[in-house]
Each structure stands twice: as structure tokens, then as C-alpha cells.
Amino acid sequence: MKKFTLALAFLAASPAFAGEAITVYRDPSCGCCSAWADYMGQKGYDVTIIEERDVAARAIAAGVPERGLSCHHAEVGGYGIHGHIPAEIIDRVLAERPAISGLVLPGMPQNSPGMAPDKYGTLKVYSYAPTGVAVYSNE
């Protein structure tokens, strides 16, 4: 029984999607993109960075609305992740598996991961799909 309890405690302490592969497309001259990729690695994701000079074109091709563009685009678990989205919101979309194309956090909010050491305050993250855009999280 003691081993079972220890195993459960270990699982509870592990990141929800430890080892989940995420590919980050970033402009080679963008430092905050690297900071966000490092943050995702610290949250347990297996990060691959691909240098991409035209991140906007890649994002738009993936369905990201032009008015939601940010500085980097990522792919994880079949979803597009665009911008400085906190790991806990990505964990949630991977757990819930909604029928969306992905998530977008427009711009480069100063209180978001990769722009600040830690997220603070609220961030409005949107889901996007062929059917439209909707608020996914306002935390």
C-alpha cells in the first residue's frame, strides 16, 4: 500500500503533460520566443525549436486569425498554439480535447510567460476554429 501511495504522490507532483512534444516556430532574432520555449521546457514539455523567418505566414496557414498574431507559433497534440500562452491553459486544452484548431494570445502581453518571469494578472486566451473565434480562458 505504501508503494501505491508514493506512486500517486509522484504522479500528482508531475506536470500534467510531462514529456509531451511541442514544436515552436520562432524568428531567429526574437528573444522572447526563446524565453517562452524555455518556460515550456521547465513545465515539462519536450521542446523542439525551428527557426522560421515568416512566423505570421505559418500561423495564418494554420488558421490563426490575422488580428491575433504574435511572435511565435507552436504545435502540440494536434493543436496550434500561438503566442505567449501559459502552460496550464495548454494543459487544459490537451486534457479537454475540444473541437478547435488551437489557441491564440494576441500580441505580446507584458504579464505573460516569456515576457515576464511568471504570468501575473489575467490573460484573455482565445480558441480558433474554422467556425470562428471564442474566448477560451480569461484567467
Q: Do the beta carbons of residue 16 and residue 91 sit within 8 Å?
A: yes
The pLDDT value recorded for residue 17 is 64
The pLDDT value recorded for residue 15 is 53
Instruction: Give Dmax (Cα) for the chain.
Output: 54
Q: What is the number of structural domains in the chain? A: 1
Identity of residue 99: A
The pLDDT value recorded for residue 118 is 79
pTM of the model: 0.85
Cα–chain center distance at 52: 17
How high is the mean pLDDT in each 10-residue block of the chain (139 residues)? 38 58 94 94 96 95 93 96 96 96 96 90 96 95
Nearest-10 crossing angle of helices 87-96, 31-42:
60
The pLDDT value recorded for residue 134 is 97
Indicate which CATH number applies to the domain containing 48: 3.40.30.10
The pLDDT value recorded for residue 117 is 81
- Residue indicated by cell numbers 494554420: 62
Q: Domain span at residue 17?
A: 2-138
**Which residues, including other chains, have CB under 8 Å from residue 103's CB and lie 6 or more apart?**
79, 80, 81, 82, 85, 89, 90, 93, 125, 126, 127, 128, 136
Cα separation of 102 and 86, whole Å? 14
